[in-house]
């Protein structure tokens, strides 16, 4: 068997961690032949709870799980890491907007980026889940000058999956019949879910749904789904977030099917759709040979342009705010 891949999960004792770790350990990320070693990073107060999760992982007797270590020190937790899930953060609670979380979370992601820079494996892939995910990814990436910037990504896949499900419900199609939705921009209520290029069982989605549904139902439902889950559950999405985190990394590692894209928050180099360099932006992406590539050349309608521009502004504001706080050089 191959050497184990090292996966570090921060916030391992939290809700998403609990839904994510068992799936990784069972082989759903790398496949049935690749052993996995799990590094769990927590704050000192939550290490004991992480030990409980580790005991349960043990009790599953997963054949692919070669070991589990628990840390409260980022430098140790990211040593040799191939895949880093940066989940640990302060979750948004009822009535709170993501901007409120910027300052609380900015201090977490800089040191973790620095630890990744210092000790992670050369092929490290990072997915930032903790909110505000896009800007936290920028903070971590800025603290890791020796790691290629495109290895830092942010999670837009939950928004992408939500968009697929809403379109499937509306059209009566199977989820597997929906291709090429995209959610541009920020993982926040600013995001722009877009079906302009989507197909439903091979037919253009635009022929099957009308503009009123798109603007009054589809886009608000997808963009505000996180808040709706919090209102219903009294806690933010956890199992669906973990599922999207598996999907994001799986597509990155194993590739996307021919002619299909997914949405990922990826580092903007300034060359795609007018998005400034340095932001982590939700784009349509394909994956091949272990790399995500932005799908270029799509025809952009006025409405989509406005949606993209709105997200550029929103992410720039977050960027400027953390820069003013000194978290970005
Ligand atoms: N991007 C996305 O699509 C989504 C993002 N989220 C975000 O994911 C994050 C985690 O959510 P939950 O697991 O539900 O929260 P949770 O509160 O259940 O767990 C968070 C865990 O992170 C730990 N933690 C805090 N600071 C840490 C640090 N510096 N190092 C390591 N661990 C640390 C806490 O001790 C806690 O165990 C939140 O920011 C939430 O808003 C949630 C759903 C979707
Ligand atoms: O809204 C939140 O805080 C949790 C989240 O990111 C989501 O469910 O999309």
pLDDT in tens, 23-66: 999 999 999 999 999 999 999 999 999 999 999 999 999 999 99
Cα(39) to ligand 2 centroid in Å equals 24
Q: Give 113-151 pLDDT, tens digit per residue.
A: 999 999 999 999 999 999 999 999 999 999 999 999 999
φ/ψ of 326, rounded to 5, equals: 90, 15
Contact 60, 53 (CB under 8 A): no
For residue 186, which ligand has an atom nearest its CA? 1
Give the rounded percent of residues in the chain with a pLDDT score beyond 90. 90
Q: Specify the pLDDT at position 90.
A: 76
Take atom 1 of ligand 2 and give the residue whose Cα is closest: 226
Question: What ligand 1 atom has the least distance to the C-alpha of 74?
Answer: 30
Ligand 2 centroid to 240 CA: how many Å? 10
Q: How far is the CA of 314 from the centre of ligand 2 (A)?
A: 17
CA 222 to chain centroid: 16
> Contact 193/275 with Cβ under 8 angstroms?
no
C-alpha 48/C-alpha 156 separation (Å) is 31
Please check the confidence at residue 254 and state whether its pLDDT lies above 80.
Answer: yes
The model scores a pTM over 0.90: yes
Active site residue 187: yes
ipTM of the complex: 0.99
Q: Where are the alpha helices (DSSP H) in 153-254?
A: 157-171, 211-213, 219-223, 225-233, 239-254
Q: What architecture is the 5-154 domain classified under in CATH?
A: 3-Layer(aba) Sandwich (3.40)
Active-site residue, selected from the candidate residues 48, 160, 169, 187: 187
Task: For residue 39, count CB atoms less than 10 angstroms from its CB and return exposed for 0-12, middle for 13-18, buried for 19 or more.
Answer: buried
Tell me how far apart the alpha carbons of residues 50 and 229 are, in angstroms, rounded to a whole number: 25
Query: Alpha carbon of 184 to those of 110, 192, 222, 271, 281: distances in Å?
Result: 25, 5, 12, 15, 7
**Is residue 154 in contact with ligand 2, taking CB distance under 6 Å?**
no
Domain edges within the chain: 5-154, 157-317
- Listed residue (253, 263, 23, 236) closest to 126, CA to CA: 253
Q: Return binding residues for substrate.
A: 92, 98, 131, 162
Binding site membership of 186 for ligand 2 (Cβ less than 6 Å) = no
Strand partners, 184: 192
Rounded to whole angstroms, the Cα distance separating 186 from 192 reads 8
**C-alpha span between 3 and 96 (Å, rounded):** 43
CATH topology of domain 157-317: L-2-Hydroxyisocaproate Dehydrogenase; Chain A, domain 2 (3.90.110)
Ligand 1 pocket member 41 (CB < 6 A):
yes
Helices 239-254, 157-171: crossing angle, 10 deg rounding: 100
Q: pLDDT value at position 91?
A: 66
CB burial string 275-286: b at 16+ within 10 A, e below: beebbbbbbbbb
d(C-alpha 159, C-alpha 156), whole Å: 5
- 241 C-beta closer than 6 A to ligand 1: yes
Which atom of ligand 2 sits closest to the CA of residue 236? 4
Q: Ligand 1, atom 11: nearest CA belongs to which residue?
A: 91
- How many Cβ atoms sit within 10 Å of the Cβ of residue 14? 22
268 within ligand 2 shell (Cβ under 6 A): no
Say yes or no: CB of residue 131 within 6 Å of ligand 2. yes
Cβ contacts of residue 73 below 8 Å, gap of 6+? none
**Residue 158 Cβ < 6 Å to ligand 2:** yes
Give the residue whose CA is nearest to atom 8 of ligand 2: 226
Q: Is the CB of 180 under 6 A from ligand 2?
A: no
State pLDDT tens for residues 62-77: 999 999 999 999 999 9
Residue closest by Cα to atom 7 of ligand 2: 226
Residue 96, pLDDT above cutoff 80: no
CB 65 within 8 A of CB 36: yes
Q: Above 90 in pLDDT, residue 93?
A: no
Question: Cα(19) to centroid of ligand 2, in Å?
Answer: 15
Nearest ligand 2 atom to the CA of 227 is: 1
- What does the pLDDT read at residue 299? 98
- The atom of ligand 1 lying closest to the CA of 154 is 1
Quick one: pLDDT at residue 97? Answer: 64
- Domains 5-154 and 157-317 fall in the same CATH topology: no
């Amino acid at each position: 068997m191959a050497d184990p891949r090292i996966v570090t999960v921060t916030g391992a004792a939290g809700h998403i961690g609990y839904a994510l770790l068992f799936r990784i350990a069972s082989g759903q990320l790398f496949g049935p032949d690749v052993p996995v070693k799990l590094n769990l990073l927590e704050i000192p107060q939550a290490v004991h709870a992480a030990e409980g999760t580790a005991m349960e992982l043990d009790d599953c007797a997963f054949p692919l799980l070669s070991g589990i270590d628990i840390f409260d020190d980022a430098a140790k937790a990211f040593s040799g890491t191939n895949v880093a899930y940066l989940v640990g953060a302060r979750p948004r609670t009822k009535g709170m907007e993501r901007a409120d979380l910027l300052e609380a979370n900015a201090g977490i992601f800089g040191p973790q980026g620095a630890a990744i820079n210092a000790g992670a494996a050369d092929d490290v892939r990072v997915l930032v889940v903790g909110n505000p995910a896009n800007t936290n990814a920028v903070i971590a990436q800025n603290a890791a000058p020796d790691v290629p910037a495109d290895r830092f990504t942010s999670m837009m896949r939950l928004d992408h999956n939500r968009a697929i499900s809403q379109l499937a419900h509306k059209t009566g199609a199977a989820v597997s019949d929906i291709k090429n939705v995209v959610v541009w921009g920020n993982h926040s209520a600013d995001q722009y879910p877009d079906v302009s290029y989507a197909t439903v069982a091979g037919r253009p989605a635009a022929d099957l749904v009308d503009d009123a549904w798109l603007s009054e139902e589809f886009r608000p439902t997808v963009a505000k789904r996180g808040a709706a889950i919090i209102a219903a559950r009294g806690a933010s999405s956890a199992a669906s977030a973990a599922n999207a985190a598996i999907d994001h990394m799986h597509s990155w590692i194993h590739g996307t099917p021919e002619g299909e894209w997914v949405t990922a928050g990826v580092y903007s180099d300034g060359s795609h759709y007018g998005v400034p360099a340095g932001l982590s932006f939700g784009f349509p992406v394909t994956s091949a040979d272990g790399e995500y590539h932005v799908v270029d050349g799509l025809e952009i309608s006025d409405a989509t342009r406005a949606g993209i521009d709105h997200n550029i502004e929103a992410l720039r504001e977050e960027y400027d705010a953390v820069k003013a706080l000194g978290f970005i050089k």
